[in-house]
């Protein structure tokens, strides 16, 4: 073949190799960095008729050094990339053609070192025994190949950075949603705790309960609190949480009796978008909100039977799935449960699982009803009265011995909750004056010594004549005057007791011809 023909053939081959290099990025789509580098070296070896090719680049995934090697006559060259890199370490910054011994077999090679772009640290070394290497054509093809490799590495790095950024944004959004949901729960918990200032009382029954709390709080044991409604089960659960190692994390309350039956699983475990009608976005459940902290299952006896196995699984394995999702999630929570039901009776009736009962009943605590700790009633009443007075901006009222005795005689079916509500109502009725317990204690169960007894409330359908109405009003005014020792004006006067202006009461006394006795 003549000289011009050889030159034409060489030019055709060069164009072919350049076109092949231009199509390389399509071949590399979705490939791993190691595969791309190896493929790039295979192309260089084939196009330039090399005896050895080596590349050292920064892995776009984590920046670690990634090395690869190819040698047509040495099948193990790919496995000896580290050895080749060490041998060529002193040549990495060389510029122009150089001559060096092959690390594989010691033969003398002509080398060309091509650094990658500034943005993508790395180097490619091409080596051949032939005397004309590297020619201008070799340099052109080598530069084109390294440019394509640099472009892919840069594109892959940017793609991975974008994926990480998207994942980070998604994670932040997920955390934000979880924090928003947790904050809703916590705000509810804080609002419900504003009126509480610790456990109040000094009865033997309460001291026994506090002793049990001191024993179990530092542990991770599950606690089951038994007690009638209104005895302060939630307050004791909070006390256990605050004394535990989880005190710095969330205490999430779940009122099992207030959740609609078809929403139980979603409330407990959360749901994914589209899991059911109205599920417009992913939402974590109460267990996820309580991760690392404590979950308080109030009225756990009201749990639907079909949900109880899933609760048992969380307690035993710490795993659950959101509604509409097949991803198993893990959670680390301490469980405190409470009930006012007779769970053994519910088990016998087939309404509560026996295995769940034993899993919850690791450390049982029974809160006595208020009627069994009557010595605590004056302390609690004074506490509630002081709280109500502060909220209403009134002077703090004082409880007398007769008032305390009346409170202690009452049976308190609603326990501490009923006592708190009743005392607040008495503070409101009394205004800046004394507590009006006579108007709030149920008639016939407890009355204040010397206080006027309230007449039974008339039938809503009964009609009261004008004469009877005036007689009742006269009796009420006489009772108030008697209690005020005949005084209409001033603190503890009859007008203050009746909630009337002194001038109004004086006019009625005159009109009804009520006799005032001092």
CA distances from 118 to 123, 153, 419, 432 (A): 11, 12, 78, 82
**Cβ 299 vs Cβ 337: under 8 Å:** no
Instruction: Tally Cβ neighbours within 10 Å of residue 41.
Output: 27
Helix (H, G, I), strand (E, B) or coil at 14: helix
pLDDT in tens, 361-393: 999 999 999 999 999 999 899 889 989 989 888
Helix (H, G, I), strand (E, B) or coil at 319: strand
- What is the rounded CA–CA span in Å between residue 33 and residue 26? 14
pLDDT over 80 (residue 310): yes
Per-residue tokens: 10: 């060489």
Letter string b/e over residues 131-150, b meaning 16 or more CB atoms within 10 A of that residue's CB: eebbeebbbebbebbbebbb
- What is the rounded CA–CA span in Å between residue 346 and residue 2? 104
What's the whole-number average pLDDT of the chain?
81
pLDDT in tens, 87-125: 888 888 887 788 899 988 888 999 989 888 767 788 899
Phi, psi angles (nearest 5°) of residue 296: -110, 110
Instruction: Tally Cβ neighbours within 10 Å of residue 441.
Output: 21
Letter string b/e over residues 473-489, b meaning 16 or more CB atoms within 10 A of that residue's CB: ebebbbbbbebbeebbe
Provide the sign of the torsion angle of the four alpha carbons 268, 274, 276, 281, taken in this order: positive
**Cβ 127 vs Cβ 52: under 8 Å:** yes
pLDDT band at 151 (very low <50, low <70, confident <90, very high): confident
- What is the rounded CA–CA span in Å between residue 89 and residue 254? 65
Per-residue tokens: 446: 């407890």
pLDDT over 90 (residue 223): yes
Per-residue tokens: 278: 């109205």
Per-residue model confidence (pLDDT) at position 451: 39
């Amino acid at each position: 073949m003549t000289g011009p023909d050889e030159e034409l053939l060489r030019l055709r081959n060069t164009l072919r190799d350049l076109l092949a290099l231009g199509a390389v990025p399509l071949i590399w789509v979705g490939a791993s960095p190691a595969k791309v580098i190896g493929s790039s070296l295979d192309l260089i070896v084939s196009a330039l008729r090399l005896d050895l090719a080596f590349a050292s680049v920064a892995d776009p995934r984590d920046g670690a050094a990634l090395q690869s090697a190819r040698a047509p006559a040495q099948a193990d060259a790919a496995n000896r990339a580290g050895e080749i890199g060490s041998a060529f370490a002193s040549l990495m910054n060389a510029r122009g053609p150089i001559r060096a011994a092959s690390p594989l077999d010691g033969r003398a090679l002509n080398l060309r070192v091509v650094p990658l772009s500034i943005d993508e640290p790395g180097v490619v070394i091409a080596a051949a025994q032939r005397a004309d290497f590297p020619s201008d054509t070799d340099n052109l093809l080598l530069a084109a190949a390294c440019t394509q490799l640099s472009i892919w590495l840069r594109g892959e790095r940017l793609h991975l950075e974008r994926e990480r950024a998207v994942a980070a944004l998604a994670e932040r959004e997920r955390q934000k949603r979880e924090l928003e949901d947790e904050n809703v729960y916590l705000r509810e918990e804080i609002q419900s705790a504003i009126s509480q200032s610790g456990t109040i009382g000094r009865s033997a029954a309460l001291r026994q309960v506090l002793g049990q709390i001191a024993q179990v709080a530092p542990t991770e044991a599950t606690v089951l609190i038994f007690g009638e409604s209104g005895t302060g089960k939630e307050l004791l659960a909070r006390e256990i949480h605050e004394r535990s190692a989880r005190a710095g994390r969330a205490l999430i309350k779940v009122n099992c009796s207030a959740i609609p039956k078809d929403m139980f699983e979603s409330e407990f475990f959360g749901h994914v978008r589209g899991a059911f009608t109205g599920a417009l976005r992913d939402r974590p459940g109460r267990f996820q909100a309580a991760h690392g902290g404590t979950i308080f299952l109030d009225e756990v006896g009201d749990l639907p039977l079909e949900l109880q196995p899933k609760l048992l699984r969380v307690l035993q394995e710490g795993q659950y799935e959101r509604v509409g999702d097949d991803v198993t999630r893990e959670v680390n929570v301490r469980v405190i449960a409470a009930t006012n039901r007779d769970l053994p009776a519910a088990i016998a009736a087939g309404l509560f699982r026996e295995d769940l009962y034993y899993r919850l009943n690791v450390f049982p605590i029974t809160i006595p009803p208020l009627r069994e700790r009557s010595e605590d009633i004056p302390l609690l009443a004074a506490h509630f009265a002081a709280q109500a007075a502060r909220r209403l901006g009134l002077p703090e009222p004082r409880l007398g011995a007769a008032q305390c005795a009346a409170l202690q005689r009452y049976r308190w079916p609603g326990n501490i909750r009923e006592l708190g509500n009743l005392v607040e109502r008495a503070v409101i009725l009394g205004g800046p004056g004394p507590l009006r317990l006579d108007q709030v204690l149920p008639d016939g169960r407890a009355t204040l010594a010397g206080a006027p007894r309230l007449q039974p409330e008339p039938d809503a359908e009964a009609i009261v004549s004008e004469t009877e109405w005036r007689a009742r009003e006269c009796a009420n005014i006489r009772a108030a005057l008697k209690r005020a020792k005949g005084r209409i004006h001033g603190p503890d006067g009859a007008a203050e007791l009746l909630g009337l202006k002194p001038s109004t009461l004086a006019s009625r006394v005159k009109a009804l011809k009520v006799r005032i006795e001092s």
